[in-house]
Structure 1
Amino acid sequence: MARRGAPGLVVPASRGLRVAVAVTRWHTDIVDTMLDRALSALREAQVQQPTVAKVPGALELPLMCQHLAKHHDAVVALGVIMRGDTPVFDHICATVSSGLLRVSLDESTPVGNGVLKVEDETQAWARSGSSESIADRGHEAVVAALYTAHALHDCAPPTLTG
């Protein structure tokens, strides 16, 4: 995995932001590790009481994220899509990714995409944020969503009064 050019982002202080995390029920051992890392990043950011919503699988993530985006400043999607024996892997990856992007654009709410698209469990664990991992996608998805939420807030037009 290429890390060259990756931004050196720290967890931004985000007290007062409302954040939700949507997670899948597939590959729960890996996803639970990613959720723990995401929640750790939210604690570090001083986000109070993040919402956690579980869905059956990756295809349900965009709808849940759209629902959560209506009442939160940022949303994070976590899951694992692993290539199987049938040819649906590419379709599911594309559908979930485009669905999450659409939610972000339609709702004007950042959606941190922490959905792993991998060949096997080894690749998933390598990106899960476990102590042996080379990447921490749950943590990174939270940081990306928080940075974007702050950027949107800072660029928001002034509120009109009177």
Structure 2
Amino acid sequence: MATKGNNALLKGIPTTKDAFVVIVKTEWNAPIINKLEAGAKRVLKEAGLGVKVLTVPGAFEIPFAVKAYAESNEPKADAFIAFGTVIRGDTPHFDYVCKAVTDGVVALNLTLNAPVIFGVLTVDNEQQALERVGGVHGHKGEEAAVTALKMIALKRKLK
């Protein structure tokens, strides 16, 4: 169960200079995704980071887009943030999509040289999603951006 915003996460945000983050977001559930993106961009821009946004049709396609970008000649990403919202329906499709995107992000974290932050909401209904984009459960877009900042700082510290 989610807490009412991850207040501990928002403490001790590191200063991260000269970093670049790629956000991969879905077209599905655009009103929610756009709020996740706006929150993340706000935090990243306040921190002085460069940001690029890629849009894919659905959550299932997120891992492919992250991998394709990482292997491209585009500017090197210091971190990726994956944004999607998968809302439970009447069929097992929800379970398959959630597992596939989760497994894909885990695999990317184990193979890429940049962290991939999991910002995919997996909820039972639209109300639960709204509660996580500035509602009673905090703002998961902002939290994903803070996580990216912390992971970039950790990686740089370990070099």
Question: How does the TM-score come out when normalised to structure 1?
Answer: 0.87
Give the % identical residues. 33
| Aligned pairs, number | 153
> SS at the partner of 1:15?
coil
- From 100, 110, 135, the counterpart of 2:105: 100
Say if 2:143 is the partner of 1:151. Answer: no
1:1-162 matched pairs, under 5 angstroms:
1-3=2-4, 7-10=8-11, 11-48=13-50, 50-70=51-71, 71-129=76-134, 132-156=135-159
RCO higher in structure (CA 8 A, sep ≥6): 2
Counterpart-to-counterpart distance in 2, 1:4 and 1:123: 13
Question: Bigger CA drift: 102-111 or 30-39?
Answer: 102-111
Q: Which moved more, 1:113-122 or 1:82-91?
A: 82-91
Q: Which structure would you say has the larger Rg? A: 1
Residue 6 of structure 1: how far off its partner (Å): 6.0
Q: Unaligned stretches of 5+ in structure 1?
A: 157-162
Residues in 2 aligned to 1:2 and 1:53: alpha-carbon distance in whole angstroms? 29
- The structure that is strand-richer by fraction is 2
The C-alpha deviation readout for 1:123-152, integer Å capped at 9, x for no partner, is: 0000023xx442211111111122111111
Task: Please list every run of 5 or more consecutive structure 2 residues that lacks an aligned counterpart in the other structure.
Answer: none
Q: After the TM superposition, which parts of structure 1 deviate over 6 Å for at least 4 consecutive aligned residues?
A: none
For 2:69 and 2:152, how far apart are their aligned partners in 1? 14
Over the residues paired in the alignment, what is the CA RMSD in angstroms?
Answer: 1.8
Scaled by the length of structure 2, what TM-score is found? Answer: 0.88
